[in-house]
Amino acid sequence: MPFFLRKIRKARWANDKGYEWLGAEDIQADALSDLKTENNELSVWHVEEDESNLRQIVVALGANYKKLDTVDYALVDQRVLLTAGIKAVEAAGDTPYENANEWHRNLIELTAEKVIEIAKNMRKERRIARVWPQDLQRHLTRAIEAGEVKLSRLEERLQKELQGRTL
Amino acid sequence: MISLDSAGSIRPISRSMWCKTTSETAQEWIPIAPQRRLRDKTAVSLPGADTGVCIELRWNAMGSVNAATGEATTVSSPGTIIFPHSALSHGVTFISYHSEEPSFAEAFSCSTETLLTVSSQTDAILDMRVPLSASREEKALRLELVTRVAEIFEDAKEELFEDGMESDFEEKLTKLIVQYERNALAVLRSLLFLRSVSFEAGAEALRIVGHLDHPYTHSERLKLLEECLTHSRFEIRDGAVIGLALLDNPSAIPYVRNAIQSEASQSLREDMAHLLLQLQETLDALFPKKD
C-alpha cells in the first residue's frame, strides 16, 4: 500500500528527549503544529509503495524553499488512514517541479479526532526521516541539470545558494 | 525561572550565577550560588562578601545603564547579600563589590563583578559574562543587546517556523549579528544557556547562525554551535546539529565526536553521526588523501 508524506519538523516528533513526562508512545502537543489544517484540509503527498517517487517529492518540496535547509517528513500508510474514514483527493501541487505536482493530495473534511488519528499513526509507524541540506542541494542540482526543474523558477536566495555555495 | 509561590515561601533558583575575578592568575568564572527569592527580596551568595562589605548596585531603568543608579546594600550575613526585590525587577542589574577577606583575596584577588539581567517577561536571571577589561561602552552595549535579543525571541512566539522558509525572526536576528557580531552572539549564547527562551526559537536561531554567510563572525558562530551540541535540551542540540551541517566546517569534528559519546537520544546520535560523515567528507575534499 502506498504512503502519504507530510512535511514536518523532526524534533517535534522525537520521543527520546529525556523528558520524564513524555512516554515512548506519547505525542508532544507541539507536534500538532505540523498538522495545521486550512479549511479542514491537510496537504500531503502520495508516495508509491516502493517509494520510487520519494526523491522527486523531496525535490518538489525543496524547490519551494527560500533557502537551503533540511526536509523533514513523515510517511504514513494510506490504508490505515483511509480505513479510519479519512478522505483524500487529488489536488495538483504548486511547486517548480511540475512533474511531481501530480502526486499532491489533500486530506479533506478533517475533524480534530481525525487529525489526532493521523498524528497517532505517524507516531506509531515511526517513518520519520530527514533530508540534509547538503543532500537537498545535490538533489536539486541534479533535477536542474536534468531539466526537471528550471533554476529561474526557484526563489532568488535559493538560486544564489545553489550556484554559489558549496555545502 | 524564579517564582514565588502563593505563600511567599522561599523557592531556590535552579541556575547558578557566575562571577569573574580580576586576578591575573585566576581568570576563571566561578559559580556563586545558591540564590533564593524571598517575598520581596532576593538573597545571593557571593564569595568573599562579608559583613560590612559595600555593594554597589546599578540597573538599567530606561535603556541606559548610566542613567540610573541603585541603592547600596550591605551584607546581612557572611557570604550572603540581600537585594530588595525591586532592585532586580528593573531590567538589567550590575553588581560590583570588593572584598578584603583573606581567603577570597588569596584565591581570587580582591575585586569581582557580576552582571545580572532580569527579564521582565520571564523573570529569569541571566548570566552575562563581560570581561572586566571590557570598556564601559562595551558593557553598556551588551546590556542593551540583552534587551534587544530578548525582544526578538519574544516576538518569535507568534511565529511558526518551517523548514526552508524565511521569518521575521531570521531577519531581525541576522541584522543584529551582522551589526554587533561577537557581542550579539555572546548575548545569544547567554540566553540559550540560561534556558530563558523558547527552545523552538532557540533551535531556529542556531539554524540561522549556521546558515548565515558572514565571514567576520564565522569562528564565533562555529564556537557557539559546538557548545550547543551538549546543551541540556534536545531541541537546542538538534538545532546545533543542523546549524553545523549548514556551516559545514570540519573543525567541528572533534566536538561532534564527543557529543555522540554523551548523547542520550538515539535519533539525535544518528543525526550527529550523519553530520560527522558530512564533515569528514568535506575535510577529505579539502585535503585529498594521496595514494
Residues from chain A that touch B274, judged by Cβ atoms under 8 A, are 132
What's the whole-number mean pLDDT along residues B2-27? 31
- Please name the residue of chain B whose CA is at the shortest distance from the CA of residue A15: B265
CB contact under 8 A, B265 and A70: no
* Per-residue pLDDT at B59: 39
Q: What is the DSSP letter of B195?
A: T
How far B234 CA sits from the closest chain A CA (Å)? 6
**pLDDT per residue as tens digits for the range B117-166:** 333 333 333 334 455 556 667 767 877 888 888 889 989 988 989 999 99
Pick the closest to residue B130 from B190, B71, B181 (CA basis). B190
- The answer to whether the Cβ–Cβ distance between B248 and A67 falls below 8 Å is no
CA distance A102 to chain B (A): 22
Cβ proximity of B211 and A67 under 8 Å: yes
Residue for cell digits 520521543?
Answer: A15
Looking at beta carbons, which residues of chain B come within 8 Å of A17? 234-235, 265
Closest chain A CA to residue B241: A132
ipTM: 0.93
Confidence of residue B42 (pLDDT cuts 50, 70, 90): low
**C-alpha cell, A20:** 520524564
B67-79 pLDDT, tens digit per residue, is 233 344 444 555 5
Whether B271 sits inside 8 A of A130 (CB atoms) is: yes
Mean pLDDT of the B6-12 span: 30
Handedness of CA A76, A82, A86, A92 (dihedral sign): positive
What are the tens digits of pLDDT across the range B58-112? 433 343 332 233 344 444 555 555 555 444 443 334 444 444 433 332 322 223 3
Question: Is the distance from CB of A102 to CB of A42 less than 8 angstroms?
Answer: no
What is the band of A15 on the pLDDT scale with cuts at 50, 70, 90?
A: confident
**pLDDT tens-digit series, residues B190-205:** 888 766 688 999 999 9
Task: Count CB pairs under 8 A between chains A and B.
Answer: 75
**Contact residues on chain B for A132, CB-CB shorter than 8 A:** 245, 274, 278
> How far apart are the C-alpha atoms of A60 and A142, rounded to whole Å?
12
Q: Which residue has the higher pLDDT, A12 or B71?
A: A12
Q: Which of A17, A69, A130 sits opposite B164 (nearest CB)?
A: A69
Query: Nearest CA to CA, how far is B161 from chain A (Å)?
Result: 9
* A160 at interface of B, judged by CB pairs closer than 8 A: no
Q: How far apart are CA B69 and CA B67, in angstroms?
A: 7
Summary mean pLDDT of chain B? 67
Q: What distance in Å separates residue B163's CA from the closest CA in chain A? A: 6
Neighbours of B283 (CB within 10 A): 13
Give SS3 for B126. strand
Check pLDDT > 80 for residue B285.
yes
SS3 A94: coil
A68 and chain B: CB distance < 8 Å anywhere? yes
Place of cell 539581567: B117
Question: Is the peptide bond prior to B288 cis by the omega test (within 30 degrees of 0)?
Answer: no
User: In the prediction, which pLDDT does B46 show?
Assistant: 53
User: First vs last Cα of chain A: how many Å apart?
Assistant: 36
CB under 8 Å to A101, separation ≥6 — which residues?
A: A60, A92, A93, A94, A95
Residues of A with Cβ-Cβ distance to B211 under 8 angstroms: 67-69
- Higher-confidence residue of A118 and B41: namely A118
Is B213 within 8 Å of A165 when comparing Cβ atoms? yes
Q: What is the mean predicted confidence (pLDDT) over B238-256?
A: 95
Q: With an 8 Å Cβ cutoff, are A67 and B166 in contact?
A: yes
A3 vs A50: CA distance, rounded Å: 9
Listed in sequence order, the residues at least 6 apart from A155 whose beta carbon sits closer than 8 Å to its beta carbon are A65, A66, A67
Q: B10 vs B64, which has greater pLDDT?
A: B64
Task: Give me the count of residues in chain B.
Answer: 291
Name the CA radius of gyration of chain A, rounded. 17
Specify the long-range contacts of residues B173-179, CB closer than 8 Å, at least 24 apart: B173/B149, B173/B205, B173/B208, B174/B208, B174/B212, B176/B145, B176/B148, B176/B149, B176/B152, B177/B209, B177/B212, B177/B214, B177/B217, B177/B221, B178/B212, B178/B214, B178/B217
Task: Yes or no: say if A62 and A140 are a contact pair by the CB < 8 Å rule.
Answer: yes
Q: How far apart are CA B159 and CA B161, in angstroms?
A: 6
- The answer to whether B164 contacts A30, with C-beta atoms less than 8 Å apart, is no
Q: Give residue B65's pLDDT.
A: 35
Q: Catalogue the E-assigned strands of chain B.
A: 11-12, 17-21, 29-32, 35-37, 41-45, 54-60, 73-77, 80-84, 92-98, 111-118, 125-128
Whether the pLDDT of residue A153 is over 90: the answer is: yes
Predicted pLDDT at B186: 86
CA distance to A12, B142, B170, B194, per residue, from B239 (Å): 12, 24, 14, 16
All residues of chain B having their beta carbon less than 8 Å from the beta carbon of residue A69 are 163-164, 207, 211, 242, 246
The predicted pLDDT at position B81 comes to: 54
What gap in Å lies between CA A141 and CA A159, rounded to an integer?
10
CB distance B211–A68 less than 8 Å?
yes
Closest-CA residue in chain A for B203?
A11
| Burial class of residue B107 (count of CB atoms within 10 Å of its CB; 0-12, 13-18, 19+) | middle
pLDDT score for A148: 94
Identify whether the C-beta of residue A121 lies closer than 8 Å to the C-beta of residue A35.
no
Bridge partner residues of B117 (DSSP) = B92, B126
Interface test with A, best of B157, B163, B232 (most A CBs within 10 A): B163
- Looking at A37-51, A106-120, B25-39, B69-83, which range is the least confident one? B25-39
- Mean pLDDT taken over chain A: 93
Answer for the pair B161, B173: CB distance below 8 angstroms, yes or no.
no
The per-residue pLDDT for range A27-74, each reduced to its tens digit, is: 999 999 999 999 999 999 999 999 999 999 999 999 999 999 999 999
A16 and B CB contact within 8 Å: yes
Of A166 and B217, the one with more pLDDT: B217
Please name the residue of chain B whose CA is at the shortest distance from the CA of residue A32: B160
Cβ of B163 and A30 within 8 Å?
no
What is the per-residue pLDDT for A125?
79
pLDDT at A83 over 50: yes
Q: What pLDDT does residue B234 have?
A: 94
Average pLDDT value for residue range B265-275: 96
More confident residue, B8 or A36: A36
Alpha-carbon distance of A19 to A24, in angstroms, equals: 10
Given this model, what pLDDT does residue B82 score? 53
